[in-house]
């Protein structure tokens, strides 16, 4: 259960990171509200997962999921260019996250 919560919290990290960028310094209401709600839920889920998982592993998985999904979203929406080298390094992060899960 902790791993599922951790993965969902990582997805919410990508949501709040993207919303933060869209909030234009908290000057836009909807992205700002999305940011705060997703941030609270993401942190809460991370804290819950850390009750059963080591802090280092949980944090690295949470950050990895959030970072990869944030970049993928930016690439999918055209806000960031896609390149083979970027995809390669994103796959390395995914491999690291999977490795941490398997090593647990």
Domain boundaries, given as residue ranges, for the chain: 2-103
**pTM for the model:** 0.91
Question: Which tens digit of pLDDT belongs to each residue from 53-84?
Answer: 999 999 999 999 999 999 999 999 999 999 99
Expressed in percent and rounded to 5, the helix, strand and coil fractions of the chain are 80, 0, 20
Looking at every residue in the chain, the average pLDDT score rounds to 96
């Amino acid at each position: 259960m902790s791993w599922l919560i951790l993965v969902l919290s990582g997805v919410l990290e990508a949501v709040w990171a993207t919303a933060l960028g869209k909030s234009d310094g908290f000057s836009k209401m909807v992205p700002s509200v999305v940011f705060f709600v997703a941030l609270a839920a993401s942190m809460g889920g991370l804290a819950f997962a850390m009750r059963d998982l080591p802090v280092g592993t949980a944090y690295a998985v949470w950050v990895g999921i959030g970072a990869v999904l944030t970049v993928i979203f930016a690439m999918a929406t055209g806000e960031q260019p896609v390149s083979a080298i970027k995809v390669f390094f994103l796959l390395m992060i995914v491999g690291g996250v999977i490795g941490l899960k398997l090593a647990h």
